[in-house]
Every structure is written in C-alpha cells, then in structure tokens.
Structure 1
Amino acid sequence: MDKISIAGLLLGMVAILGGQMLEGGHVASLAQPTALLIVLGGTLGAVLLQSPFHVFRRGLKMTKWVWVPPVIEQKGMIDQILRWSQVSRKEGLLVLENYIPAVKDDFTRKGLQLLVDGADPERLRELLEVEINTFEDEWRQSAKIWEAAGGYSPTIGILGAVMGLIHVMENLSDPSKLGAGIAVAFVATIYGVGLANLIYLPIAGKLKYYIGRMVVVREMVIDGLVGIAQGDNPRIIEGRLRGYLL
C-alpha cells in the first residue's frame, strides 16, 4: 500500500474542508449533488469521446497503482542477468535456453530467446527497443486519460457555474430559488478545479512515473542481454546495470 498517496489525498481534503470551516462556512454547503453530477458526468463523457475504449479501460485498471504500486524488481533483474552472464561465459549461450521457461516477464523471455537464437547484439537491441517503444506508447496513452480528465474538469466546472447562473437569472422574481442556483454555480467550479488538481492530474503523474520506471527496467534488460551477446565480462555488465538503480 502506497501510504504517501493516501496521506496526500487526506491532507488535500483536510486543508480545503478545514479552510472552509475556519472561514465560518459549513462543510455541508459544499455538498451539491447537481454540481457533482455535471462535473463528473461531463468530464467522463469528454474523456470517453476522446479515448478508444481499450485505452480507457486500461487507464482505469492502472489506477490501482496509485494505492498498490506495481512490483519493479531492478535488483532482482540485475542478479538474474549476472547469473546468465556467468553461465554463458562458462558454458556458452545455448545453455541459457534452460532458463527461458522460468522467466515470467514476456519482454525478458523474448530477449533471452533472441539471445539464445544467436541474434547479433545490434539486431537484438533494435528488436527489443521496438518492443519498448510500443509498450511505452500504449501505457502512456492509457495514463493520459487522467491527464485529459484534469484538463476537461475545470472547464466543465465553469459550464456548471454558467448553468447555475442561468437558473438564477430565470428565477429573479422568486428569491427562494436564488440561493440554490448560486450554490450550484460556485460549487460546480470548486468541484471542477478540485477534482482536476487533487485527483486527476496527480494520478496521471504517478502513473507516468511508474511507466517510466518500467521502461528503465526494460532498457536495463536490453543493456544486459547485449552485454552477454558481446561477451562482456560479468563485472563490466554489473557495473553498467547498477548505474540504472535509483
């Protein structure tokens, strides 16, 4: 569980609600279902219109990374690559075929298979870099649905504010209806800006961070496998791979 994500969300909410109370306002005055419906529904509609469904669905599934980060085993991968390097140096590249079934990651398994099949270092790097570019593009596009929501939400909030003011103008002759219309107008703006800056954009940023780390691990795998293909000393490979560690 990523405790800092929970702490950040709670701190943001407490700061806003606490500020409202310190100014003498009531928290209940921020509870406007109509404004929330306008902002959430409008933002969701805009994001759905922008994104293919498979990209949208993957973006939603990735949201769990904010609370439960994906496992990124850099040190474990380095140890594994060094073990392959030492074995291949003693017994040849073909012996690495015995290790392929135990590799769980598809990218690493494909790279190891290419190495065993005798792909030259430059060709090996070229093929795996294509895989990385495709992976990064697909996953970043999915993370961008949250970035898009962060862009649309404030504008939809303003739209809700305008709708609330229209309602106010239509009922100037009935003072009893003015308060509700004005409340929807201002609270819709708060929802739009608040959701964008407290929820959507931070989620997008954290997802892109994890995607970046996953890309780094794949680049590290390429570097290690190319080093093995070139017959580099395991110590040289280890020094190069440890440079990827944060």
Structure 2
Amino acid sequence: MDVFSVLGILVGLGAVVGGNILGGGSLSSLLNGPALMIVLGGSLGAVLFQYPPKVILRAVKIMVWVFVPEKINLTSDIDQIVAWSSLARKEGLLGLEAIADNEQEVFARKGLQLLVDGNEPEIIRECLEVDLETKEYSDFQAAKVFESLGGYAPTMGIIGSVMGLIQVMQNLSDPSMLGIGIATAFVSTIYGVSLANLTFLPISAKLKAHAYALSNAREMMMVGIVAIAEGENPRNIELKLSGFLHATT
C-alpha cells in the first residue's frame, strides 16, 4: 500500500473541506449532484471520445498502481542476474534452460529463452527492446487518460457554472430557484478544479512515475541478459547494473 497516495488525498480533501468550514460554510454546501454529473460525465465523455477502448481499459487496469504499485526490487534482480551469469559460465547457456522455464516474469523469461536458444547479443537486445518500448508506450498512454481528465474537468466546471447562471437568469422571477442555480454555478467550478488538481493530474503523474520505474527495471534486465550473452564476467555485470540503482523513480 502506498501510504503517501492515501495521505495526499486525505490532506488535499481535508484542506478544501476544512477551509470551507473554517470560513463559515458547511459540508452540505459542497454537495451538488447536478454539478458533479456535469463535471464527471462531461470529462468522461470527452476521454471516451479521445482514446480507443484498449487504452481506456489499460488505464482502468493500472489505476491500482496508485495505491498498490507492482513490487520492484532492483537489488534482488541484480543478484539474480549475477547468479544466472555465474551458472552460465559454469554450465554453459543451456544450464539456464530450467530457470527460463520456471521464470514467472514474462520479460525475463523471454530474455532467458532467447539466451538459451543461442541468439546473438544484438538479436537478443533488439527483441527485448521491442517489448520494452511497447510496454512503456502502453503504460504512458494509459496514464495520459487521467491527464486528459485533468484537462477536461476544469473546462466542464466552467460549463456547469455557465449553465447554472443561465438557470438563474431564467428564474429571476422565482426566488426559490435562484439558490439552486447559483449553487450549481459555483460548485461546478470547485468540482472541476478540485478533481483535476487533487485527483486526475496526481494520478497521472503517479502512474507515469511507476511506469518509468518498471521500464527502468526491464531495461536493467535486458542489459544484464545481453551481458551474459556476451560472456562478461559476473563481477563486471554486477558493477554495470548497479548504475540502475541510482535512477530516480
């Protein structure tokens, strides 16, 4: 569980709601169904129009990374790669066949299989780079779905505000309707700006950061497997891969 994601949401919402209450407002004044429908419905509609279904589904799938990111342990991966290298030097590349068959991580299993099959280092690199770039692109596109939501939400909030003001103007002769229209107008703006800056844009940034971390881990795996194919010394491989530990994720 990513504690900072939960803490960030609580602090952000607490600041908005708490500030409203301290300013003399009430929680009920921030609750407005029509305004929420305009902002959320309009933003979702625009995003569904913008992206293909595959990207939308991927975005929904990886949204869990915000709170439960996939585990990445580069130190453990380096130790594993060094162990593979040592085994390959002792028993040859075919000694890694059983490890390749039992490897759970898809990217690593493909790399090991290419290694066991005796492919040239450049061939292995080219094959893994295709997977690396494809996965990275897919995850970044999915993260951009939330970035787009963050872009559309404030605009939809403005649309809701205008609609509320139109309702006010149409009911100037009926004082009972003025409050509803004015509330929808102002709350729509709050919803649009708050959802964008407290939810959608932070989610997008968080997903991009984790996608980069996963890409960094895969790249390290690729470099390690290629180094094994080139017959590098296990100690040299460990030193080479240790540079990935300093990447900002």
Tell me which interval the TM-score lies in, with the shorter structure as reference length. over 0.9
- Counterpart Cα distance in 1 of 2:123 and 2:200: 40
Cα displacement string for residues 160-193 of structure 1 (whole angstroms, at most 9, x for unaligned residues): 0000000011011112211110110010000001
Describe the SS at the equivalent of 1:71.
coil
Which residue number corresponds to residue 213 of structure 1? 213
Whole-angstrom CA distance in 2 between matches of 1:69 and 1:221:
19
> Which residue of structure 2 lines up, in the alignment, with residue 153 of structure 1?
153
SS across alignment from 2:104:
coil
What does residue 64 of structure 2 align with? 64
2:40: which partner in 1? Answer: 40
User: Over residues 185-240 of structure 1, what are the superposed CA-to-partner deviations in whole Å (9 max), with x where a residue is unaligned?
Assistant: 01000000100000000001111111101100110011101111111110110011
Name segments (4+ residues, structure 1) moved above 3 Å: none
Match in the other structure for 2:126:
126
TM-score (norm 1): 0.97
Amino acid in structure 1 at the alignment position of 2:21: M
Q: TM-score, normalised on structure 2?
A: 0.96
Q: Whole-Å Cα distance in 1 between the matches of residues 101 and 124 of structure 2?
A: 20
**Count of residue correspondences:** 246
RMSD between aligned alpha carbons? 1.0
CA shift at 1:76, angstroms? 2.0
Q: Which amino acid aligns with 2:23?
A: E
Q: In the aligned structure 2, how far is the partner of 1:106 from the partner of 1:68?
A: 20
Give the structure 2 partner of residue 97 of structure 1: 97
1:73 Cα deviation from its structure 2 partner: 2.6
Question: What residue is the counterpart of 2:110 in the other structure?
Answer: 110
1:16 to 2:16 alignment: yes
Aligned to 1:245, what secondary structure does the other structure show? helix
Amino acid at match of 1:34: P
Which segment drifts farther, 189-198 or 24-33? 24-33
Is the counterpart of residue 227 in structure 1 residue 227 in structure 2?
Answer: yes
My pick for the range that moved more, 15-24 or 73-82, is: 73-82
- AA at the equivalent of 2:206: K
Give 1:217's aligned amino acid.
A
More deviation, 90-99/144-153: 90-99
